[in-house]
Amino acid sequence: MFQPSKHKPNQKYYFDKVRAESLTRRVVKINNRNIIFGVEGPIILSEGKFWSISAEVENGRWGKHWIMVAPDLPIILRRKSCFLRIDSGCLSGILGDITCDCMEQFKTSQREALKKQGIIIYIPNQDGRGHGSEFKMANQRLMNDCRMDTIAVAERFYRSHDKIDIRTFDEAVIILQALGFPRGYKFYLGTKNPRKVQALLEGGYVVEDHEISTKKEAKFLKINLKAKYKFFEEEKRNMRPIKKDKFFRDRESTYTILAIGCVKCGENVLLYQKDGRGNLKRLYLNRILFPENLASLQDTVKNVKKMKALKCKCGQLIGLPMLHREGRLAFRLIQGNYTKRRHKL
């Protein structure tokens, strides 16, 4: 767990101590991953002061995350809940572009964190929904020239609906763990993005929505926001929630998301929530998260005799219907016919 500096201004040789801190990096290990912390310092606004530090997961995808905490980390950790904003970089918003409200949301989040005590995680390398600033500016140009909203442009530009937003937030969650936020800590999350909610839930945190509203009302901004919120709602509908029931608790209250694929053609077949440790032998219906036609079997099929074999689209047999001794319907996996890999939602 990360420990803030204890050096105080009235100590002798204070300049030397701070200079030494600036030349070193502290490392915290979480789940066999190193989190590298930078130099502490204040971010001072007219409304108040933040304690701030950078952190990054070694060999991670998103580089430095800038952490802002109000009033300071020990006070926040002693509480059982706080406000949280996970904010992706937006160069055009910082430069004053009126087709997005990213800067307004960031400033509003700062005021909320100062007022209610909380934490902001800013991830500059996630500009352009993870594609980077250059692609973001290309999208800006197309929005302007073709008079299309941000989601429509991204889908056409990247030639895939699945590539509109490639951001992941597992590194932000690992950093929260390294800062000392325990499982079960409650965050009032200032976002409408379901992927951020999902990442925090997977990390063992409790999440409650905390709406961040802005006052910018430019015409094209309204069009973009409407498109973004529609996109987020579609993502919510396409994602079954993680189950935390009796079976989850009986298996040490841990889980892994697995992508189950086909050995024959290489295509993904489904996403699955595996509870606990041990080998994967079967797929319980009520742990299938995606796609919806398979995830919905838990709601529609109540008798093993009405289940069909689980097959890939290419015809490869993946699993056979079974009724487990716990009374749960499942597919018994055919060894050698499928692949599995960890998946991050």
Please write the tens of the pLDDT for every residue from 291-344. Answer: 778 888 988 998 999 999 999 988 999 999 999 988 899 999 999 999 988 775
Shared-domain flag, residues 35 and 145? yes
Give the DSSP per-residue string, 109-155: HHHHHHHHTEEEEEEGGGTTTTT-HHHHHHHHHHHHHHT--HHHHHH
CA angle 257/59/195 to nearest 5° reads: 40
Rg of the chain over CA atoms, in angstroms?
23
Say if 2 falls within a structural domain. Answer: no
Domain boundary among 178, 202, 237: 237
Q: Which of 51-55, 155-159, 188-192 has the highest mean pLDDT?
A: 51-55
User: Which tops the pLDDT comparison, 215 or 69?
Assistant: 69
Q: Are residues 42 and 142 in the same domain?
A: yes
Domain check: are 35 and 182 in the same one? yes
Structural domain containing residue 315 = 252-342
The 8-class DSSP code of residue 126 comes to G
Tell which wins on pLDDT, 329 or 245.
329
208 occurs within a structural domain: yes
Answer yes or no: are the C-beta atoms of 74 and 5 closer than 8 Å. no
The verdict on 201 and 280 lying in the same domain is: no
> Is residue 251 pLDDT above 90, yes or no?
no
- The predicted model scores a pTM of 0.68
pLDDT for res 177: 95
**The pLDDT value given to residue 99:** 81
Shared domain for 173 and 84, answered yes or no, is yes
206-209 and 186-189 beta bridge pairing? parallel
Q: Which of 193, 214, 237 is the last residue of a domain?
A: 237
What average pLDDT does the segment 164-178 reach?
A: 93
Lowest mean pLDDT: which of 14-23, 150-159, 224-233? 224-233
Whole-angstrom distance, CA of residue 117 vs CA of residue 84: 9
Residues 303, 222 share a domain: no
Question: Among 211, 237, 263, where does a domain finish?
Answer: 237
Q: Are residues 76 and 109 in the same domain?
A: yes
